[in-house]
A = this chain, B = another copy of it.
Amino acid sequence: MTRMFIRADKSVLQEAITPTLCAVAGKSTTAALECLMLHATEEGILEITGYDLNKGVKTRLPVLVLEAGGVLVNGSQLNAFIRSLPDGEVSIATDERLVTTISCKKSKFELHGISVDSFPTLPELNGEKRFELEQGLLKKMCQQVIFSVAQISTKPHLTGVLFEIKENNCRLVSCDGYRLSIRNEAISLMTGEEMSFIVPGKTIGELIKLLDESEEKVNVELTRKYIIFSFKEMIFFSRLIEDTYTVYQKSIPSEYRIQAKVELSEAMSSVERASLVIDEKTKSPLKCTLSHDGYMINCVTANGRVDEEFSIEFQGDDAIEIGFNYRFLLDAFRGAGMSGDNEVMLQLNSPTLPMIIRPVDHDEYLYLVLPIRL
């Protein structure tokens, strides 16, 4: 199946190519990994697939198939060519020597294709276990935990997001060793089974970009080594991290000496301002003082000095002085704000124990941040 000849509208083609690009490898020693697989079927469908051995995206669109067949073409080149064309009908034709001609009106591109035999074998895309979530909701849940995924770690599980599904609850957990994010959501399970698996942080990052804010359902399926998300006219799949997630529950205290209700936007802009004197290299901690008088943030570095103050609802016997990495605070506040909360509860025990940030009235999410010694 070498020769191929299709016709389709430029904008429709472009829309189908864009999401597949996230699964095209950058510079690779294997040219096929830099390619998209185009596969035109007798049934009048063009399948476009990108797969970098870790994650893949497949889109399908109805086109005019004059000759069914398939070819691999460089993904970024194909995208640049299609994007640059004038609006109108585009034809893509591959001859027996794999020379692929893309033309529209009086513009014509020729590029060298590769045989589809060189493309890596795709995994099985039908899982046994499955569940559903709304696109917009899944996107938000992922955004609320992705920041605390470890970028690099000797413990592979920390570079991923744990999905724990049981008793009609879907829980996402991430932890980079300094902070922990937990996001819960009630779901109705299709198969009633419990599931627990770890999705690479990079996959979650790409998934966030592919999902929109709609209420349309995403079908999530699970095989032994892969997770498959199906939505719109798209299948997004990724290898799982084969590791065991650490028991994280015991790091969350059950009692707190101090509680403070904080207005989110005020807290965030104070931390942002205070961060202006911090040098990214030295990473000086912000000194936070919580008391009946309010929340004070102070920071003194070689660059200067900042003092910030805002009022809080404080519960506790005496004031606490605790140091934090400002980025960790901002990330947690932003994550909390994403659920629409304007206020959060801060819960603390001592300057050497973690602080918990959670909603005032519900337990949809929880963030835990380790302090820095002042």
Write out the residue numbers on chain B whose beta carbons fall within 8 Å of the beta carbon of A178: none
A364 to B111, CA, bound (A): 42
Query: Is B272's CB under 8 angstroms from A109's CB?
Result: no
What is the minimal beta-carbon distance from A277 to any residue of chain B, in angstroms? 7
Write out the residue numbers on chain B whose beta carbons fall within 8 Å of the beta carbon of A276: 77, 80-81, 84, 109
Query: Is A109's CB under 8 angstroms from B277's CB?
Result: yes
Q: A77-B303, A303-B77, A303-B111 are in contact. Are A273 and B85 (CB under 8 A)?
A: yes
Query: Is B310's CB under 8 angstroms from A109's CB?
Result: no
How many identical chains are in the complex? 2
- Give the one of A109, A111, A269 with max B CB within 10 A: A109
Docked complex: A258-312 residues within 8 A CB-CB of B: 269-270, 272-273, 276-277, 303-310
For A77, give its contact among B107, B272, B304 (CB under 8 Å). Answer: B304
Query: Is B304's CB under 8 angstroms from A107's CB?
Result: no
- Give the one of A85, A107, A307, A310 with max B CB within 10 A: A107
A98-136 interface bits toward B, Cβ cutoff 8 Å, 1 = contact, 0 = none: 000000001111111000000000000000000000000
A310 to B105, CA, bound (A): 10
**A86 on interface, CB distance cutoff 8 Å:** yes
For A306, give its contact among B108, B269, B270, B306 (CB under 8 Å). Answer: B108
A-B contacts, 7 of them at CB < 8 A, read: A77-B276, A81-B276, A107-B308, A108-B307, A109-B273, A109-B305, A110-B306
Q: Tell me the A residues contacting B by CB distance below 8 Å.
A: 77, 80-81, 84-86, 106-112, 269-270, 272-273, 276-277, 303-310
